[in-house]
Amino acid sequence: MSAPKVGNLLSSKLDAELTPLLTVTAVSKAFGGLQALSDISLQVHAGEIFGLIGPNGAGKTTLFNALTGLYSIDRGEIRLNDARLDGRPPHQVLHAGLARTFQNIRLFAEMTALENVLVGRHARTTSGVVGAVLRLPGTRREEADSRERAAALLRRVGIAQHADRLAKNLPYGDQRRLEIARALATEPSLLALDEPAAGMNKAERAALRELLLQLQADGLTLLLIEHDVKLVMGLCTRLAVLDYGVKIAEGTPDVVSRDPKVIAAYLGDEAI
């Protein structure tokens, strides 16, 4: 609906000055003797799809967990717009506008697909016990609105036909879509996706790519961990590469893919 407008806005913004949405400054995190993240700094601009890549064990998911409040960080600072995120619990990070999905899908298995998305509405609704028990007008309105939005989101990600099925019984690719719908229900300004294409077949990947591009067109900013190099190169506006907890490169896909440090990290030093 408002897609073209946002698109225009973006292209004009790319030429002019970019507004940083997420600012990560010198973030470090160690587990015992293992330095999982060392002085990571990066900026994600509003409206872009930012890719986070690196070999296995590079610290990508650790960074995600640090961003979303699941891990506390040892040093550094994380800001979303002007709000400090570091040191805050996960639900507050989400309230601030940063939603995420998980590498190993974490749905509410025994809830239906629709209910999973409804849980996503929790953060943006306020009804309490009294409202629920007495079915106050405000609660009823809120509930109806939540259901409408949840159903719309299921249609949006293309799994409306599964609305009343238990999440655990959905096909794998649809479970990933459901996780995205649940995250979208929280009305994030930044959506962080941890390997959304993992385990998907070619057709599912193509559909996912379309979905992510649509979300970007609607004005959402995406942060993406992905192993599928083709998907990342085609989709992302910019990339950061992690290796052993250190950021070794950052830039457009073109620049990053030619970076000798990146090639070495992926193929080994001998390759150069």
**Interface with another protein by CB under 8 A: which residues?**
68-70, 89-91, 94-95, 99-100, 102, 106-112, 115, 118-125, 127-129, 131-135, 139, 142-143, 146, 166, 168-169, 182-183, 186
Continuous H helices in the chain: 3-15, 60-67, 90-96, 113-120, 129-134, 137-157, 172-185, 202-217, 229-235, 253-258, 260-267
CA–CA separation, 181 vs 151, rounded Å?
10
Looking at the Cβ atoms of 2 and 169, the one nearer to another protein is 169
Q: How far is the CB of 97 from another protein (least distance, A)?
A: 11
Environment class of 164 (CB within 10 Å of its CB; exposed 0-12, middle 13-18, buried 19+): exposed
Pairing of strands 246-251, 238-243: antiparallel
CA–CA separation, 78 vs 25, rounded Å?
6
Asked if 206 and 33 count as a contact pair (C-beta separation under 8 A), the reply is no
Looking at the Cβ atoms of 223 and 232, the one nearer to another protein is 223
Looking at the Cβ atoms of 187 and 204, the one nearer to another protein is 187
Q: How far is the CB of 127 from another protein (least distance, A)?
A: 5
CA–chain centroid gap for 239, Å, is 14
Q: How far is the CB of 254 from another protein (least distance, A)?
A: 33
Looking at the Cβ atoms of 18 and 136, the one nearer to another protein is 136
Q: How far is the CB of 183 from another protein (least distance, A)?
A: 8
Looking at the Cβ atoms of 89 and 260, the one nearer to another protein is 89
Q: How far is the CB of 270 from another protein (least distance, A)?
A: 40
